[in-house]
Amino acid sequence: MYQLLQFLIRQRGFFLFIVLELISIGAVFTYNNYQHAFYFNTSNSFAANLLSQVEKIKTYHNLLEVNEVLSQENARLQNELFQLRNKQNAPSELPYFASQAVLRQYQLSAAKIIVQSTHASQNYLTIDKGFRDGIRPGMAVISSTGIVGKVISCTENLSLVISVLNTINSVSGKIKKNGELGFVKWSGWQPEVVDFMDVSKYKKVSKGDTIVTSDYNSVFPRDIPIGVVAKLGIKDDGNFHDIKVLLFTKFNTLQYVYVVKNTLISQQQKLEEAIPKSE
């Protein structure tokens, strides 16, 4: 017995080695034959947690690229949405079919905002798409949540957009619920709020109503969200509602916008020029 003990002590390095190797190889054969689900125990979920934190940091560096991709995908989806919307016109008694050209009337392309102001009284944005990308003055600019503005001039690679937050820019709109027409105009301060003008005080408007772009709009497609009625009153002259609209588009954090190309605009303008002017 004593000799055995002495032997063990003399060879303790070897035994330590053997014991540790047996533990390891035991673990290999106990756990690794089972599939991953089995050994995802508490200790490993701790490890997984740590790793996912590291992963988060890694993904942070990809965010720019991801944003780009997502905004392009959004543009594509919005495109399809417009097509579907045009197809699904108001239910009519007569058989109505929209032509292919009408279905594809609106085409979107995503752009990134390079420069923008929200605190000046006349606000503009500069976006990173221009003539080369098919952008032309007069096109509508929207965000994923609502309207943004209108392209007023383009260079080869950039475009200048006049924001809704500009007192000389007004957009025709309607109350989504009952179709009452009016137009949206910025009062020159508060980048979150615009006025909805020209609604007679005899028309029914209530707080929380959604305002969207109207059907009679040469720039924006119809039914693009603008905002919700936040405050109601009567104008000083006593004839119109004083409506404050909270914008859907958050200009302060806006990064990507979509430029809407109206492929039928030239035809539309040509027709409208033909309207006989009453002298």
Q: How far is the CB of 6 from another protein (least distance, A)?
A: 17
Euclidean distance between CA atoms 35 and 37, whole angstroms: 6
Is 10 among the residues that bind another protein (CB under 8 A)?
no
Contact call for residues 153 and 162 (beta carbons, < 8 A): no
Is 11 among the residues that bind another protein (CB under 8 A)?
no
What is the x/- site pattern for another protein, positions 73-112, by CB under 8 A? ----------------------------------------
Beta bridge partners of 172: 183
Binds another protein by CB under 8 A, chosen from 54, 94, 168, 274: 54
Contact call for residues 203 and 182 (beta carbons, < 8 A): no
| Structure tokens, 208 | 């929380």
Binds another protein by CB under 8 A, chosen from 9, 13, 93, 276: 13
Q: Report phi then psi at 217, rounded to 5.
A: -135, 120
In the bound state with another protein, the residue whose beta carbon lies nearer, of 50 and 115, is 50
Euclidean distance between CA atoms 182 and 176, whole angstroms: 11
Is 189 among the residues that bind another protein (CB under 8 A)?
no
Euclidean distance between CA atoms 117 and 123, whole angstroms: 6
Q: How far is the CB of 169 from another protein (least distance, A)?
A: 50
Is 21 among the residues that bind another protein (CB under 8 A)?
yes
Q: How far is the CB of 194 from another protein (least distance, A)?
A: 49
- HSE at residue 243, side-chain half, CA atoms within 13 A, is 33
Q: Which stretch binds another protein (CB under 8 A): 13-21, 106-114, 197-205, 258-266?
A: 13-21
Is 32 among the residues that bind another protein (CB under 8 A)?
yes
Q: Which stretch binds another protein (CB under 8 A): 20-28, 64-72, 138-146, 239-247?
A: 20-28
| Structure tokens, 107 | 């085409």
Under DSSP, is residue 98 helix (H, G, I), strand (E, B) or coil? coil
What are the percentages of helix, strand and coil residues in the chain, rounded to 5? Answer: 35, 30, 35
Binds another protein by CB under 8 A, chosen from 6, 7, 10, 30: 30
Euclidean distance between CA atoms 185 and 193, whole angstroms: 9
Contacts with another protein by CB under 8 A lie at 12-13, 16-17, 20-21, 23-28, 30-32, 36, 39, 43-44, 47, 50-51, 54
